[in-house]
C-alpha cells in the first residue's frame, strides 16, 4: 500500500451520517476506508467519462472526415415523403425490410 497523507475534509451532516453508518454496519473499518472507497469510485467514474468523451470525439472526427455521400435535410425529407406516399398508395401490406421502410 502507498504511504498515506493525512488530510482534513469537511462534509455535510448527511455525508457524515452516511460515513458513520457504513463503519457501524461493518461495511468499512474506518471513516478513512469509506472516503478512500468513495475516491476510488470517483476516480473510476472520471476515467470512464474520459473514455466516453474520447470515443465521442473519435466518432465525431470520423464523421467529419467521412467522404461518403451527404444529403441535405430537404433531400432526406423528400425521400421519406416519397417512401411514405408509396406505402400509403400500396396499403402498407408489405413487411418492412429496413428501419425507414
* Domain residue extents for the chain: 13-90
Output the pLDDT for position 94: 60
Cell numbers linked to 43: 476516480
100: cell is 425507414
Look up the pTM and report it.
0.61
Q: Alpha helix locations (H) across the chain?
A: 13-24, 31-65, 73-90
Contact status, residue 34 vs residue 20, Cβ threshold 8 Å: no
Distance CA 32, CA 22 (A): 11
Is the pLDDT reported for residue 100 higher than 60? no
pLDDT digits (tens, 9 = 90+) for 30-83: 999 999 999 999 999 999 999 999 999 999 999 999 988 888 999 999 999 998
**Averaged pLDDT for residues 95-100:** 60
Amino acid at each position: 500500500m502507498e504511504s498515506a497523507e493525512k488530510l482534513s475534509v469537511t462534509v455535510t451532516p448527511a455525508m457524515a451520517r452516511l460515513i458513520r453508518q457504513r463503519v457501524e454496519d461493518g461495511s468499512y473499518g474506518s471513516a478513512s476506508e469509506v472516503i478512500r472507497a468513495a475516491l476510488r469510485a470517483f476516480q473510476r467514474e472520471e476515467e470512464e467519462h474520459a473514455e466516453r468523451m474520447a470515443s465521442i470525439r473519435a466518432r465525431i472526427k470520423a464523421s467529419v472526415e467521412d467522404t461518403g455521400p451527404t444529403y441535405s435535410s430537404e433531400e432526406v425529407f423528400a425521400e421519406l415523403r416519397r417512401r411514405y406516399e408509396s406505402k400509403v398508395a400500396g396499403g402498407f401490406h408489405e413487411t418492412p425490410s429496413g428501419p425507414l421502410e
